[in-house]
Amino acid sequence: MALITDSTGIHIADVNSSGRQLVQPPTDGTNAGAVFLVGKPDLSSQATTGSITGSSQGLLGTAGVEIDFDMNFVASAVCTTSILQVSSTMTSSINNNLMVLNTAGTTTSGSHIQLRTYRSFKVERGADRVWGVRLRLDQPAVANTTVDFGLGLASTTADPTMGVFFRLNSAGELRGVTISSGGSESTTPVLAYSNPTDFQDFVIVIGRSSVTFFINEVPVGSIAAPSNSTGSVAGESFPGFVRIYNNAVPGIAQKVYVSKIVSATMGGLSNRDSTHLAALKGDIGQQQVVGVGTGGQTTNWTNSGAPAAATLSNTAAGYTTLGGLFSFVALAGANTDYALFAYQVPAGTLTNMGRTLIVRGISIDAFVSAAAGTPTVATVLEWGFAFGSLNVSLASSEGTSTKLPRKGFLGVQSILTTAVVGTELRRIQQTLEQPVVVNPGEYFHIILRIPAGAAITYPTITGGVFIDASWE
Residue 216 region by backbone torsions, left for phi larger than 0, else alpha for psi between -120 and 50, else beta? left
- Kind of pairing between the strands at 200-206 and 98-101: unpaired
Report the C-alpha dihedral over residues 455, 460, 461, 463, rounded to 10 degrees. Answer: 170
User: How many whole angstroms separate alpha carbon 34 and alpha carbon 21?
Assistant: 17
3-state SS assignment for residue 367 = strand
Whether residue 87 contacts residue 283, with contact meaning beta carbons closer than 8 Å, is answered with: no
User: How many whole angstroms separate alpha carbon 257 and alpha carbon 97?
Assistant: 10
pLDDT in tens, the chain (472 residues): 667 777 787 877 888 887 788 777 666 666 666 666 665 544 444 555 555 666 555 555 555 678 888 888 876 667 777 888 999 999 999 888 899 999 999 999 999 999 999 888 888 767 889 999 999 999 998 999 999 999 998 989 998 888 999 999 988 899 999 987 777 889 999 999 999 999 999 999 998 889 999 999 999 999 998 776 667 887 778 899 999 999 999 999 999 999 999 999 887 656 677 788 788 777 888 988 755 555 689 999 999 999 999 999 999 999 999 999 999 999 889 999 999 999 999 887 665 667 889 999 999 999 999 986 667 788 999 999 999 999 999 998 888 778 889 999 999 999 988 888 999 999 999 999 999 999 988 999 999 999 998 766 788 999 999 999 998 8
Instruction: State how far the alpha carbon of 106 is from the alpha carbons of 83, 145, 241, 374, in Å.
Output: 22, 11, 20, 70
Q: Residue 274 belongs to what H/E stretch?
A: helix 274-280
| CATH 2.60.120.200 for the 65-280 domain, yes or no | yes
Strands (E), 51-108: 65-72, 83-88, 92-95, 98-101
pLDDT at 208: 80
pLDDT at 268: 65
CA proximity to 293, closest of 89, 90, 67, 82 = 82
pLDDT at 43: 45
| HSE-CB for 88 with a 13 A CA cutoff | 10
Report the C-alpha dihedral over residues 35, 36, 41, 47, rounded to 10 degrees. Answer: -80
Q: Where are the domains of the chain?
A: 65-280, 324-471
User: What's the one-letter identity of residue 108?
Assistant: T
pLDDT at 50: 56
User: How many whole angstroms separate alpha carbon 321 and alpha carbon 325?
Assistant: 10
pTM > 0.75: yes or no = no
**What are the strands of the beta sheet with 334-344, ordered from one edge?**
334-344, 443-452, 379-389, 406-415
